[in-house]
A = this chain, B = another copy of it.
């Protein structure tokens, strides 16, 4: 049985963390809102959010048979267990969950850098506020989050290749995507921060060429970054 991913059809956004896990797992899935036809497209997404017995609050959510799972971090923990992208033991699995939740916090802050005062407003309607918020994000938060990841890699008793243990987990895929997104949105600030994070850079470089990830990134399943997503490039916010 294949998965059905429900997410906004024109952006990477939070859905991308789920896509990367599904791709690395080699799992069959439909990106439902990007497809056309009956029971597909955005109407299918909206219908499930409205009518499901257990309605997700927001995309992304993943459907497998009758099971619907929402919230990126919960989806990843669930997929991780099903597809060998999480550790076998409870202690390590819990640590991977904490890392994922922290990366999710970073993603929220990346979003708020261009939408600090109104989710329902356009960026152009909150540019001065975005400039204030981005200054702190760029100068304090990006270095703090990436530095924390570097420390985790430093202290991994199994070596600094992966965040937890000696093989890739979904948290590594998420860190890969965070680096991708930050480099897109804040190229100058991110390169500055990454100078102090060689192990994070190495992890990113180790994920990109993995066969399934490389094939995915080269495919049209990977939506390019754009200024409707979470990671947006506005030159005036970088520096």
Give the secondary structure class of A's interface: helix
Residue of B nearest to A125 (CB): B132
Q: Which residues of B contact A58 (CB under 8 A)?
A: 102
Copies in the complex: 2
A74 on the interface (CB 8 Å rule)? Answer: yes
A204–B73 CA distance with the chains assembled, in angstroms:
27
Contact B54 A152 (CB under 8 A): yes
Q: Which residues of B contact A117 (CB under 8 A)?
A: 116-117, 129, 132-133, 136
Contact B108 A155 (CB under 8 A): no
Per-residue B-contact encoding for A60-83, CB less than 8 Å = 1, 0 else: 000000010111011001100000
A140–B117 CA distance with the chains assembled, in angstroms:
13
CB of A121 to closest CB in B, whole Å? 8
A10 on the interface (CB 8 Å rule)? Answer: no
Contacts A54-B152, A120-B140 given; does A101 touch B71 at CB 8 Å:
yes
- Interface residues of A, count at CB 8 A: 43
A129–B105 CA distance with the chains assembled, in angstroms:
21
CB of A58 to closest CB in B, whole Å? 8
A133–B157 CA distance with the chains assembled, in angstroms:
44
Q: Flag the segment in A32-40, A89-97, A209-217, A228-236 that touches B.
A: A89-97
Q: Which residues of B contact A157 (CB under 8 A)?
A: 53
Q: Which residues of B contact A108 (CB under 8 A)?
A: 105, 108
Which of B73, B133, B141 is the one whose CB lies under 8 Å from A101?
A: B73
Which residue, A57, A91, A148, has most C-beta atoms of chain B within 10 A? A57
Which residue, A74, A102, A126, A145, has most C-beta atoms of chain B within 10 A? A74
Residue of B nearest to A73 (CB): B101
CB of A65 to closest CB in B, whole Å? 11
19 A/B residue pairs, CB under 8 Å, sorted by A: A53-B155, A53-B157, A54-B98, A54-B152, A55-B151, A57-B145, A69-B98, A70-B98, A71-B98, A71-B101, A71-B102, A73-B73, A74-B101, A77-B97, A105-B108, A116-B129, A117-B136, A119-B141, A120-B140
The 5 closest A-B pairs by CB, nearest first: A71-B101, A117-B132, A117-B133, A57-B102, A116-B116
